[in-house]
Amino acid sequence: MILSQGHLKAGVDSVRSAKLCSFWTMLGVIIGVTAVISVVAIGEGVKQQIAGQIHHLGNNFITIRPAQLQAGSTTSDNQANLLSGLSVSGPLTVNDISTVAATPGLADSTPLTITSGNVKGDYGTYNDGFVIGTGDALPSLLNQSLAFGSYFTSQNDGDNVAVLGQNASDRMFNESVPLGRSFLFHGKTFIVVGIFNEFTTTPLSQQANFNNAIFIPNSVAESLTNNTAPTYEILARPTVPTHTASVAANIRTRLNAEHGGQSGLSVLTGNQNIAANDNILELLTRLIAGVAAISLLVGGIGIMNVMLVSVTERTHEIGIRKAVGATNIQILSQFIIEATLLSLSGGLIGIVLSYAIDLGIRLTTTLQPSISWQIVAVAGGVALLIGVIFGSVPAFKAARKHPIESLRSE
């Protein structure tokens, strides 16, 4: 036990004696551990947030959106991608909206249409939000209440009225209850009739924020853009919750028939939305975590190279230790301990940095990363394993040094 404590102390002293060199040696491990934990935590956090949204909306919630994925090019497409959380191609059409609304067994449905253009309020152009054309069923579909005023109804079709998210209300008018106030959009004057309570999340998206949004009747949005505004999603809910799957299947069948047998649209229930988003996030998380894991490998190679140099530089020290009775096992243990300390220290620093990054992301974005003890344990264990594996080569080299030849070395 005394011998082990002596080796540990010798290893710590050796690492401390070359702090700058030790830091650069650990850097690869630090980056690798930090990246792996942070990436996995962000992926898990997003999955949990989306699952929470689905549970808030209910399992009888149905979404219809384009199924194909591609990079958006125009401004409207990019805004739709931001809102839906996916890059979409081929927005939904007016006929698709009508087909969904006419499906038997459906209690409510409403489109979400992104409408580009400049919004001018009391404080100039409002650039921080977006305008969404939608229907009168939106509050009930999202289980979202209003803080002030009222939501527009089917009787307001064609009227230039708007309901604002709370941030939009503050930034456009610098007041929380701007009911009756007006703003310009596409050269038309819109009257504010309601203010939503704060949205805790944007449905099925971690990027957009409905608190920044301006909601107007979908018929008005289509009229302002000559029916060119892209509808990126339709939200629906069946009359009978237990019939959700059959109603979703019926919607899918009707849309396919409308498009000549293949609509290219995705019709998903609550659980299917979770699965679809989980699959995409899982693939992205694995890809990025795999790239980050390469940093751990590079860090291990760096530790091995530095330790090999250290063995060469400390040949005389090894000779003296062997001359006073140190065995090959003792020399081997000392160098493995040094490499393990470097790797383990890098891993611990990486874990601390991961929690710091997690806190920074939570404070500055809407993302809520989730760091589990499992990923921390795995990352820490891999860092420790790297130290043992990559420290073994220089340790064996040191242990095989002949004492006489080592003493001759300067």
Among candidate residues 358, 346, 336, 333, the one with its CA nearest the CA of residue 382: 346
What letter represents residue 7's amino acid?
Answer: H
- Round to whole Å and give the CA distance between 213 and 200: 13
| pTM score | 0.60
Q: Which two tokens stand for residue 270?
A: 């609550």
pLDDT at 133: 92
Question: Cα dist. 231→110, 179, 372 in Å?
Answer: 10, 27, 38
3-state secondary structure of 22: helix
Distance CA 374, CA 385 (A): 16
Rounded Cα distance between 296 and 275, Å, is 31
Tens of pLDDT along the chain (410 residues) come to 334 555 556 556 565 655 666 677 777 788 888 888 888 888 778 777 766 666 666 667 888 888 654 433 444 445 544 454 444 446 788 888 999 999 999 989 999 998 888 898 877 788 878 899 999 999 988 888 999 999 998 888 889 999 999 888 888 888 878 899 999 999 899 999 999 998 876 655 545 688 889 999 999 998 998 888 888 889 998 998 888 889 888 998 998 888 877 767 888 876 666 555 656 667 666 766 676 667 677 777 777 777 777 666 666 676 777 777 777 777 777 777 877 888 888 889 989 999 999 999 888 877 788 888 888 888 888 888 887 787 777 777 776 766 666 555 55
Q: What is the pLDDT of residue 292?
A: 66
Residue 161 has a pLDDT of 95
Instruction: Count how many Cα atoms sit within 13 Å of the Cα of residue 247 in the half-sphere of its side chain.
Output: 28
What span, in angstroms and rounded, lies between the C-alpha atoms of 132 and 83? 10
Q: What is the pLDDT of residue 193?
A: 94
